[in-house]
Amino acid sequence: MASDRTDGRVLSLAVSRDGKHLAAGDDVGCVRVMEVRLMRTQQRLVLGHGQGSRSPVLVWASTFISDTLLATGDSEGRVQLWSTAVGVLLQTLQTHEADILALSLDGNSASLYATGIDHKVVRLQEVKPSEGKQAAGRWAVTTEHRYHTHDIRCMEVTNDAVYTGGIDAQITRASPTLTKIIKASFYDRVWDRSTCCQGPASHCLRVAVEHHCSICP
């Protein structure tokens, strides 16, 4: 079944937790939220143009935190949270100095991780009412770290580790709090933003690099 046409090239896709909605981010500053059964657009989220630029924002990454809460990462280095139920921007966090290329959520939906061109990995968590003056339902950066020397192109998160890979040919396994590198391995250049993925039994990681595919235990 074909979907409605997007406004530009599709750069990111995310499926809601209940499997009923699909979000497609593009290169002209838009995200279309579609109902999967009919593949028709229900909401059109507009990110617009970059600050001080006539170029549209590139929506490189997206992931659903819940059935109706979508996170996007873009070429302005922002993580933005959207209500897909009503098509409203809820919060903007300027987490990076350059493009965000990957977003990942842990298995408990308690931590959201963002990374990209500035080789920084950022952990965001929802602020609880007792933790500060920010209202409940808002998210904030709790930890950030740089393990790599160049762009991070892909990321995979489990309940006990954060895996990242990029142009510096390093695959890093870090603790969920980003405070400890558990293991680092070196490969050919990790080639694509979507080529790190967790194995079905959570015991291996498949990594596509420039000339071959590796399985890491």
| Highest mean pLDDT pick, 6-20, 88-102, 193-207 | 88-102
State the pLDDT confidence band at 211, using cuts at 50, 70 and 90: very low
Residue 13: the pLDDT is 96
The predicted model scores a pTM of: 0.82
145 pLDDT above the threshold of 80: yes
19 pLDDT above the threshold of 80: yes
State the pLDDT confidence band at 147, using cuts at 50, 70 and 90: confident
206 pLDDT above the threshold of 60: no
Pair of tokens at residue 75? 């070429």
Contact 131, 138 (CB under 8 A): no
Contact 29, 57 (CB under 8 A): yes
Tell me the per-residue pLDDT of 23-79, one tens digit each, with 9 for 90 and over.
Answer: 999 999 999 999 999 999 999 999 977 777 778 999 999 999 999 999 999 999 999
Would you tell me how many other CB atoms lie within 10 Å of the CB of residue 142?
A: 15
Strand partners, 89: 82
Contact 67, 53 (CB under 8 A): no
6 pLDDT above the threshold of 50: yes
Residue 174: the pLDDT is 92
